[in-house]
Chain A
Amino acid sequence: MAVLNRMDWYDLARSTNWTPTYVSEDELFPPELSGNFGLPQNAWEQYDEPYKQTYPEYVKVQREKDAGAYSVKAALERSRIFENADPGWKSVMKAHYGAIARGEYAAASAEARMMRFSKAPGMRNMSTLGCLDEIRHGQMQLYFPHEHVSKDRQMDWAFKAYDTNDWAMIAARHFFDDIMMTRDAISVSIMLTFSFETGFTNMQFLGLAADAAEAGDHTFANLISSIQTDESRHAQIGGPALKVLIENGRKEEAQKRVDIAVWGAWKLFSVLTGPIMDYYTPLEHRKQSFKEFMEEWIVAQFERALTDMGLELPWYWDIFLKDLSQTHHGMHLGSYFWRPTIWWNPAAGVTPDERAWLEEKYPGWNDTWGECWDVFIDNVVEGRMDKAYPETLPYVCNMCQLPILGTPGKGWNVKDYPLEYNGRLYHFGSEVDRWVFEQEPERYAGHLSIVDRFLAGMIQPMDLGGALQYMNIAPGECGDDAHNYAWAEVYRALRAAKKAG
């Protein structure tokens, strides 16, 4: 029997809207879950997904993808990559799995919201496949690290991280809860798929895949490249929704959602990917600096995507472009200095050679970030390790939940962006974080940052031990320097030579 070509029947088969008679339209598609934006159902029926795939096609392709990734893993299981990898690279894996794996399951439920509640039939189709994608990503990114759990307790955080009160996870949850767990189907499509997945997952999954291959970790490289092929398909769910909104006079609402989500994604990746690319990845394996990668993959891509769509660049674009050279250096210094509170061992990445690379990529690094590191290095070299750890909490932003920071040293520009709302003093890390809060204060006002919780007496005893317990960091899981400070030997030798000379 002849089989029709997909395009001969797809449009008809996806026309699954009907006029409900037993319940009202609002009961079938509750506005707070569907996000109708005041548009009639037939407006949403104009939604036309650019990437059309049927279920049988999907299963066939996904099976091949799984077979590829799993067979590479099986083939390399005895390769002792984990045992022989640079400790900085292991930290990359630990940070990635902890921050991402369980979030994929959360993303599956966000896709499921679009699948059930979107009034656009094409979106329901695409997000059905997107939901299956996210379940696959969750499963793979728990299964792959599992073989290492018996070798290293920190690997257990691939599963554990998402349920903890670790500050980094509070930040990740705050962002993902905001853009995908507590939004209507249309907003999820704009904020999760268009704003977050289109660009930012490219960076984590493609940028990191290149670094992984360079580092010889082909299992990880294959895994995350395989994931990215799904992302690049389901990231296209949001575009046609934006088109519907813009064509029907809802550009302002659409733009605001893009602006909020892009900023939050940027902040999260500045702490997750920035340190990995510019500090943890061994110098000889670095392909591009974080800034170069951002400019090529995020800035150029977003500028094109937004313009094509008829949207404006976010109002804070100039601030964002300036921060590309700054924020992640602070996120690295912060996560490194407060290293007992993370579940991986950060690599310092500040040997003279690495500093020369940083100075080349970020002119002025030595006069700014380098000045803070100089003091730290003196302490390590001279054995003053009590000064090489923190004794208080960094103040974190009430929006992104990450430390409020700026450029230190000769370029000192650190600033708080405070706001008093209903008698409570909130602190923000930037004008943009504060702007996000002001768009819908009641949405965010009740949340307590890790510092707010500390001040409220929720962390007991009020010291590092109490904080680690609150963050669910068990003994043996605390982060410390990835190379056990071996990198400081070169400074020790330089000083000895200087003294002798």
Chain B
Amino acid sequence: MALFPLTSNFEGDFVLQLVAVDSENTMDEVAAAAAVHSVGRRVRARPDCIMRVRRQGAEDFLPRTMKVSESGLKPTETVEIIWETARH
């Protein structure tokens, strides 16, 4: 359990933002923490989508249940939060 700063690059938003998460947060929780600062402020919510997290430049998303402490992310590293159409 430790405060862990990340840089959020949220799909559709215009600026990188500082997001404080916990090292034990999952990627879904990271996405939710990042969304607080973008969705409903400058980015429209997309109810048909879920939000996924990936390293900047990576094609694959990090597993949704992966914890920050397991991800190898460095403090302040930039993660991209990408809308993914939810599977029904």
Contact = CB atoms under 8 A, between A and B. Distances in A.
Interface of A: 330, 333-334, 337, 369, 371-372, 374-376, 379, 384, 387-388, 390-395, 403-409, 412, 414-416, 418, 425, 427, 451, 454-455
B63 interface: no
A416 B20 CA distance: 18
A409 B12 contact: yes
B56 A454 contact: no
B15 A427 contact: no
The binding surface of chain B is classed by DSSP as loop
B63 to A, nearest CB: 22
Contact of B16 (A376, A387, A390, A427): A427
B16 A394 contact: yes
A330 B14 contact: yes
Q: How large is the interface on B (under 10, 10 to 19, 20 to 34, 35 or more residues)?
A: 20 to 34
B19 interface: yes
A391 B40 CA distance: 13
A412 B13 CA distance: 7
5 contacts: A408-B43, A416-B56, A418-B78, A427-B16, A455-B75
Contact of A408 (B14, B56, B78): B14
A137 to B, nearest CB: 33
A372 B77 contact: no
A369 B14 contact: yes
B14 A406 contact: yes
Contacts of A416: 7, 9, 16, 56, 78
B88 interface: no
B11 interface: yes
Contacts of A406: 14
Given A387-B41, A415-B9, A405 B18 contact: no
B23 interface: no
B87 interface: no
Given A395-B17, A454-B18, A375 B56 contact: no
A390 B14 contact: no
Given A337-B42, A416-B7, A394 B17 contact: yes
B41 A392 contact: no
Contacts of A408: 12-14, 42-43
B85 interface: no
